């Protein structure tokens, strides 16, 4: 890793997340999130994730040093924004020397699952502290995560185990959010 890359990552890791969620009880940065995603990858790979995937996880939100943390919901609602963000993030990554190897489809889905599971765990933390703004964030994260578990990750034991850990939270009844997600999907 070059000095420039390390310097860029240090800046990227200081970007605040969830700036559109109003107040946050426990501030989080891209660095916190990145560390959590990598820890989840270690679980998903029985403590032996491929190094190229760990490096990809290390860089997965680094472009936010330039673009900011644009919510996924905004990208979902505005496809042109999603395309522009993808182009901008690729250009930023290239200029910062963060180019990545192409991910295998299963590894791409596991990285996205780890990313969404961290969002779900963060949402549960905020909800347990009374931050109701994270209800919709949790529902969105569960929707995405459960779709992966029902699709490409249907046979991935560790991914299903991690979902069970989330679902067994002692403070928040996660099943109510799954039901809200199911009702939302049906209508």
Give 63-116 pLDDT, tens digit per residue.
Answer: 888 888 888 888 989 999 999 998 988 888 888 877 667 899 999 999 999 999
Whole-angstrom distance, CA of residue 18 vs CA of residue 68: 10
pLDDT band at 47 (very low <50, low <70, confident <90, very high): very high
Assess whether pLDDT exceeds 60 at residue 186.
Answer: no
Whole-angstrom distance, CA of residue 62 vs CA of residue 50: 20
Residue 187: its pLDDT value, please? 45
* 3-state SS, residue 149: helix
Please name each of the domains of the chain with its CATH number. 3-186 (1.10.3210.10)
Q: Which residue has the higher pLDDT, 50 or 15?
A: 50
Residue 183: its pLDDT value, please? 66
pTM of the full structure: 0.86
Q: Span 20-43, mean pLDDT?
A: 86
Whole-angstrom distance, CA of residue 75 vs CA of residue 19: 15
pLDDT digits (tens, 9 = 90+) for 135-156: 989 999 999 999 999 999 999 9
Whole-angstrom distance, CA of residue 59 vs CA of residue 101: 11
Residue the block writes with tokens 């559109």: 20
Kindly give, in sequence order, each residue whose CB lies less than 8 Å from that of residue 73, ignoring residues fewer than 6 positions away.
Answer: 140
Assess whether pLDDT exceeds 80 at residue 178.
Answer: no
Q: Angle of helix 105-128 relative to helix 30-44, nearest 10 degrees?
A: 120
Whole-angstrom distance, CA of residue 27 vs CA of residue 18: 8
């Amino acid at each position: 890793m070059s000095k420039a890359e390390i310097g860029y990552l240090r800046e990227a890791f200081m970007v605040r997340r969830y700036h559109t969620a109003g107040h946050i009880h426990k501030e989080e940065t891209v660095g916190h999130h990145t560390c959590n995603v990598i820890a989840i990858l270690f679980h998903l790979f029985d403590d032996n994730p491929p190094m190229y995937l760990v490096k990809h996880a290390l860089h997965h939100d680094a472009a936010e040093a330039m673009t900011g943390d644009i919510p996924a919901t905004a990208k979902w609602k505005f496809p042109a924004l999603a395309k522009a963000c993808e182009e901008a993030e690729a250009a930023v990554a290239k200029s910062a020397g963060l180019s990545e190897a192409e991910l295998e489809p299963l590894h791409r889905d596991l990285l996205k699952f780890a990313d969404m599971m961290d969002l779900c765990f963060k949402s549960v933390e905020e909800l347990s502290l009374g931050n109701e703004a994270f209800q919709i964030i949790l529902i969105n994260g569960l929707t995405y995560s459960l779709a992966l578990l029902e699709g490409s990750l249907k046979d991935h034991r560790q991914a299903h185990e991690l979902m069970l850990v989330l679902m067994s939270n002692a403070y928040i009844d996660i099943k109510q959010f799954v039901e809200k997600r199911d009702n939302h999907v049906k209508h």
